[in-house]
C-alpha cells in the first residue's frame, strides 16, 4: 500500500457504523469530510474529543463538512460509549462512528500506533493513534494530522484549516500563520499585483513583492 500523501485520493472502503453500513466515497458525496480515529472506546481523552466534535456539529454543517469517527471496537461497544459521551459532555452525538475491530481501515489509512508499545488490546494488536484526514468533494486528501494517543486534538484548529482550504479553493489566495476567519489573506504568488488589484477590489497591500495582503473575501 503506497503512503497516503496530500493530494492523493482517499482510499475507498466499506464499513459498519453507528448510523448503518457505508461505502466511504458514497458517504463523501459532494461534501467535505473529516475522518478522525481514536485508540479505543471508553477511554478518557477520546470521550472528551468526541464530545467536542458533537458540540461543533452546527459549525461543520455550515461548512458543508461531514464528520466521521473511527475506533477499533465493535459496533455494540460504540453504541454504549455514545451514551457516556453524551452524558459527560452534555451533547447529542449525531455523526457516525466506524467499527474497526480488525484494524482493516486503520491499516488502510496507516493509523496504527507503532510508537507506544503499550497501546495494544488484549491480543497485542496495536490500537490507532489520533489521526485526522480532511478530504474534499473530489475525494482528495487535503490535510493529514497525527497525534499521539496521549494528546487530545484542537478541533477549532481543524475548522480553521477547513476555512483556509475552502477559501483558497474559491479565491486565488493563501492564509498566513495564525490566520483565522475574517483576517487578511495573502494574494497567491501566481497572481501579479496588477491582476490582484482587479481580483480584490477591497485593495492590495504590498508588504514585499512576494507578500501581498488583501482583506478576507469572507
Q: Which residues are catalytic?
A: 46
3-class secondary-structure state, position 58: helix
Euclidean distance between CA atoms 189 and 50, whole angstroms: 38
If phi over 0 gives left and psi between -120 and 50 gives alpha, with beta otherwise, what is residue 101?
Answer: alpha
- Closest CA relative to residue 17, chosen from 86, 67, 90, 64: 67
- Sign of the alpha-carbon torsion through 84, 111, 23, 159: positive
Q: Give strand pairing partners of 185.
A: 214
Amino acid at each position: 500500500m503506497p503512503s497516503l500523501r496530500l493530494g492523493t485520493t482517499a482510499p475507498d472502503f466499506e464499513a459498519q457504523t453507528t448510523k448503518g453500513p457505508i461505502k466511504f466515497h458514497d458517504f463523501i458525496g459532494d461534501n467535505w469530510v473529516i475522518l478522525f480515529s481514536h485508540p479505543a472506546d471508553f477511554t478518557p481523552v477520546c470521550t472528551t474529543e468526541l464530545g467536542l466534535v458533537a458540540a461543533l456539529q452546527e459549525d461543520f454543517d455550515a461548512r458543508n463538512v461531514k464528520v466521521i469517527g473511527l475506533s477499533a471496537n465493535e459496533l455494540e461497544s460504540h453504541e454504549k460509549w455514545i451514551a457516556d459521551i453524551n452524558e459527560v459532555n452534555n451533547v447529542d452525538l449525531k455523526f457516525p462512528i466506524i467499527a474497526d475491530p480488525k484494524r482493516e481501515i486503520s491499516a488502510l489509512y496507516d493509523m496504527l500506533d507503532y510508537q507506544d508499545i503499550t497501546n495494544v488490546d488484549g491480543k497485542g494488536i496495536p490500537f490507532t493513534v489520533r489521526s485526522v484526514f480532511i478530504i474534499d468533494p473530489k475525494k482528495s486528501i487535503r490535510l493529514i494530522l497525527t497525534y499521539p494517543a496521549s494528546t487530545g486534538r484542537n478541533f477549532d484548529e481543524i475548522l480553521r484549516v477547513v476555512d483556509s482550504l475552502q477559501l483558497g479553493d474559491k479565491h486565488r489566495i493563501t492564509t498566513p500563520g495564525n490566520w483565522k476567519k475574517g483576517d487578511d489573506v495573502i494574494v497567491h504568488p501566481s497572481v501579479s499585483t496588477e491582476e490582484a488589484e482587479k481580483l480584490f477590489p477591497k485593495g492590495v497591500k504590498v508588504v514585499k513583492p512576494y507578500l501581498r495582503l488583501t482583506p478576507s473575501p469572507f
